């Protein structure tokens, strides 16, 4: 941010001393804010904002959809003359480096469960959605509004309740048989009910 000082907005008179000389501005530039210190139990990592300090709970970085879905990632369809199936999804947008920095990190993310695979009455794979509107009604979820979660231990989840999934996050375009299906995968170590913050 630049600070501009305009002195003498009126037209200088020709006979006044120094009328044709520029005014000299003296002083020191305003120093930028001191760097953020990291408190115990927190770790500084790159996020959408470089000033964000992440909270670490039980060895997991608390990460929210406020950051995971805070960037534009618009999709469009490509039709192929050789492929008679559904159109391929493409994007000209990229995942920001600050979000890619979470690849391989142990994180906890809060969201709503949409089961994908059930084994012996337990959900072992699901989508963790940013909000309930993306689940069964309302507008279709954007591709950065959900995480595909694999949970080998399995769980029983109540519809409409928020859960916190914790595990290793993979960040990057996920393609299945040439189709872009997501940006995030999580190998969950644990999934538990989560009350609103």
CB atoms inside a 10 Å sphere around CB 186: 22
Positive or negative CA dihedral for 105, 111, 116, 119? positive
Per-residue pLDDT of the chain (197 residues; tens, 9 = 90+): 443 333 444 444 445 454 555 455 454 444 433 333 334 444 444 445 545 678 898 999 999 999 999 998 887 777 776 666 677 777 777 899 999 999 999 999 999 999 999 999 999 999 999 987 655 555 667 899 999 999 999 999 998 899 999 999 999 998 887 778 899 999 999 999 987 65
Say how far residue 27 (Cα) sits from the centre of its chain. 41
In terms of pTM, does the model score above 0.85? Answer: no
Residue 185 within a domain: yes
Strand 162-176 versus strand 122-129 pairing type: unpaired
Quick one: pLDDT at residue 154?
94
Q: What is the CATH number of the domain that holds 144?
A: 2.40.50.140
| Residue span of the structural domain in which 63 resides | 42-193
Quick one: pLDDT at residue 25?
47
Q: How many residues does the chain have?
A: 197
Quick one: pLDDT at residue 51?
58
Taking the C-alpha atoms of residue 158 and residue 10, their distance in angstroms, rounded to an integer, is 70
9: which 2 tokens?
């907005």
Quick one: pLDDT at residue 87?
74
Distances (CA, A) of 148 to 111, 174, 187: 11, 10, 9
Residue 163 within a domain: yes
Residue 131 within a domain: yes
Residue 122 within a domain: yes
Strand runs (DSSP E) across the chain, as ranges?
Answer: 42-44, 53-57, 60-62, 76-78, 88-90, 106-119, 122-129, 146-155, 162-176, 179-193
Residue 19 within a domain: no
Residue 37 within a domain: no
In total, how many domains does the chain have? 1
């Amino acid at each position: 941010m630049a600070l501009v000082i305009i002195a003498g907005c009126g037209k200088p008179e020709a006979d006044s001393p120094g009328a044709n000389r520029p005014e000299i501005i003296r002083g020191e530039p305003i120093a930028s804010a001191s760097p953020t210190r990291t408190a115990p139990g927190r770790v500084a990592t790159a996020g959408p904002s470089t000033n964000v300090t992440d909270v670490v709970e039980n060895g997991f970085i608390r990460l929210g959809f406020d950051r995971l879905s805070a960037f534009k990632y618009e999709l469009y369809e490509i039709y192929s003359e050789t492929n008679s199936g559904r159109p391929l999804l493409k994007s000209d947008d990229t995942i920001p480096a600050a979000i890619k920095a979470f690849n391989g990190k142990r994180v906890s993310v809060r969201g709503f469960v949409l089961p994908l695979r059930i084994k012996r009455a337990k959900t072992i794979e699901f989508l963790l959605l940013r909000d309930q509107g993306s689940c069964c009604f309302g507008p279709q979820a954007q591709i950065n509004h959900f995480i595909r979660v694999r949970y080998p231990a399995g769980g029983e989840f109540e519809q409409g309740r928020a859960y916190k999934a914790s595990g290793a996050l993979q960040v990057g375009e996920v393609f299945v048989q040439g189709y872009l299906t997501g940006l995030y995968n999580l190998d969950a170590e644990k999934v538990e009910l989560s009350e609103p913050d």
